[in-house]
Amino acid sequence: MKTLRAYRFALDLTPCQERAVLSHAGAGRKAYNWALARVKAVLDQRAAERSYGLADDALTPAMGWSLPALRKAWNAAKHEVAPWWRECSKEAYNTGLDALARGLKNWSDSRTGKRAGRKVGFPRFKAKHRTIPSVRFTTGTIRVEPDRKHVVLPRLGRLKLHESARKLARRLDAGTARIMSATVRRAGGRWFVAFTVQVDRTVRQPASGPVVGVDVGIKHLAVLSTGELVPNPRHLDAALVRLRALGRALSRKAGPNRRTRKDPSKRWLRAKARLGRAHARVAHLRRDGLHKLTTRLARGHARVVVEDLNVSGMLANRRLARHIADAGWGELRRQLAYKTVWNGGRLIVANRWYPSSKTCSACGVVKTKLILAERTYTCTTCGLVLDRDLNAARNLAALAAVVSTAGSGPAAGRGAIHKTRPGGQEAMKRQPGTATADKTGTVLPQCRTAA
């Protein structure tokens, strides 16, 4: 099976090489801003002409938003716009134009309803001091040196890696991988190179482990139906004292002034770099923990069941927003989605309205109300007393059997109504295994599979 995989390595650039990378990033930013200004001018001109009452066929010709159209317009005007264009690789300009083409398409699809999620705004101009420098190479010489400590990129030459690239080099030497692109980017005060690689993966047999339900939370990062409690490391909380001290130190330095166009001081830049490195360390620790957890779940269990949580809506709670963001629930589900496929498993996503916490895992009776402060689930029908999160995880694991009997489509297991009934009811009490119907009598799907 062929799949795309990313390999990311830290770089140790010399001052000369860093200037070259920044020059390429600036060239891409120049092409982006030029093309955006031209697109915006055409849109404004056509809007003004429509206000004058002109017919559509008499308007200024529209400008194409696709990458080939933007690249053609740039090649025709680059001699006047950027006489120095030969100093950088053509991939630098292609990076900026590709970013603009994607932004315009997302904005257009969001307006017409083709793109789900929150509304996407019109692309903005990129500034030097608020844009992360990045350049992407798709053509030319892109390879890993035999010593596995250096990489070669077009126009940038031979760059030293901070760590060995033996994992990627082994696949390249064996002929089971092919480099599609390489992206150089600065994050957290360090430079990284990320290779997008097409890998030939052998289809693994599903693990023989039991079905596992994963209930994520704040007190515990994940509670498994097997009874295991995965602690929440809370990396952000642990680093808050240092982050606040660095933030106060930054505020005491002379920063940039937009009104007077004053540049920041050298001490302000150094303080900002220290703060950025501290935030990057928190992000790296969080990513490392999530990768270890999701890899263990995907390799040890044939089927993994998770909830479809409205994380963006939960972040509106000002009391819990920081803790929810620090846990990384969305990243945990994203990693499980592709790692289960890699390991021959299956990810089952429970419906957002499925009452996993209110349902008794023993008899199936659904409580009418369960406040967040009740951390122990007590069933008034069968007398079950169990930890609230463990009870939810067991209910999630039970959904896998419903999916197996229903086939590949959505299963109609025990669920909850989507709207709150008068009196505060959020779920109906019924017998185990029965489906919930909405106002039209349609059975509500309770879970779906993610390939």
Give residue-wise pLDDT tens across range 284-335.
Answer: 999 999 999 999 999 999 899 999 888 888 899 888 999 999 999 999 999 9
CA–CA distance, 356 with 359 (Å, rounded to integer) = 6
* Amino acid code (one letter) for 423: G
**pLDDT per position as a tens digit, 111-164:** 999 998 889 999 999 998 889 999 999 999 999 999 999 999 999 999 999 999
Selected residue with higher pLDDT from 371 and 39? 39
User: Predicted confidence band at 434 (pLDDT cuts at 50, 70, 90)?
Assistant: very low
pLDDT category of residue 405 using cuts at 50, 70 and 90: low
The total of other beta-carbon atoms located within 10 Å of residue 301's CB is 27
Half-sphere exposure of residue 139: CA atoms within 13 angstroms, side-chain side: 6
Which pLDDT does position 443 carry in this prediction?
Answer: 32
**Residue type, position 413, single letter:** G
At residue 404, does pLDDT exceed 90? no
Beta bridge partners of 7: 195
What would the pLDDT profile of 207-234 be if each residue is shown by its tens digit? 777 899 999 999 999 999 998 999 999 9
**Inter-residue contact 219 to 326 (CB < 8 Å):** no
| Distance, first Cα to last Cα, the chain | 14
DSSP codes, 71-122? HHHHHHHHHHH-TTGGGS-HHHHHHHHHHHHHHHHHHHHHHHT-S-SSPPPP
Q: What is the pLDDT of residue 400?
A: 83
Residue 348 has pLDDT above 50, yes or no: yes
Name the percent of the chain lying above pLDDT 70.
89
Q: What is the pLDDT of residues 268-289, one digit of tens each?
A: 999 999 999 999 999 999 999 9
Burial label for 316, CB within 10 Å (0-12, 13-18, 19+), is exposed
* Average of per-residue pLDDT across 27-54: 93
Strand partners, 192: 10, 185
pTM of the model: 0.82
Question: What is the model's pLDDT at position 448?
Answer: 56
Residue 414 has pLDDT above 90, yes or no: no
| pLDDT, average across residues 418-437 | 37
- Residue 219: Cβ within 10 Å count: 11
Lowest mean pLDDT among 115-119, 133-137, 244-248, 399-403: 399-403
Amino acid identity of residue 362, one-letter, is: A
Listed by start position, the domains of the chain span: 1-202, 220-243+279-450
Compute the C-alpha angle 257/258/261, nearest 5°.
Answer: 80
Given this model, what pLDDT does residue 287 score?
94
Asked if residue 326 lies in contact with residue 284, where contact means CB atoms within 8 angstroms, the answer is no
Q: Please compute Rg for the chain using Cα positions.
A: 27
> How high is the mean pLDDT of the chain?
86
Structure tokens at 23: 């020059």
Average pLDDT over residues 416-422: 40
In total, the chain counts a number of residues equal to 451
pLDDT higher than 70, residue 249: yes
Q: Has residue 29 got a pLDDT over 50?
A: yes
Beta carbons of 315 and 222 less than 8 angstroms apart: no
Q: Catalytic residue positions?
A: 215, 307, 389
- pLDDT greater than 70 at residue 192: yes
Q: Is the pLDDT of residue 245 over 50?
A: yes
The answer, yes or no, to whether residue 435 has pLDDT greater than 50, is no
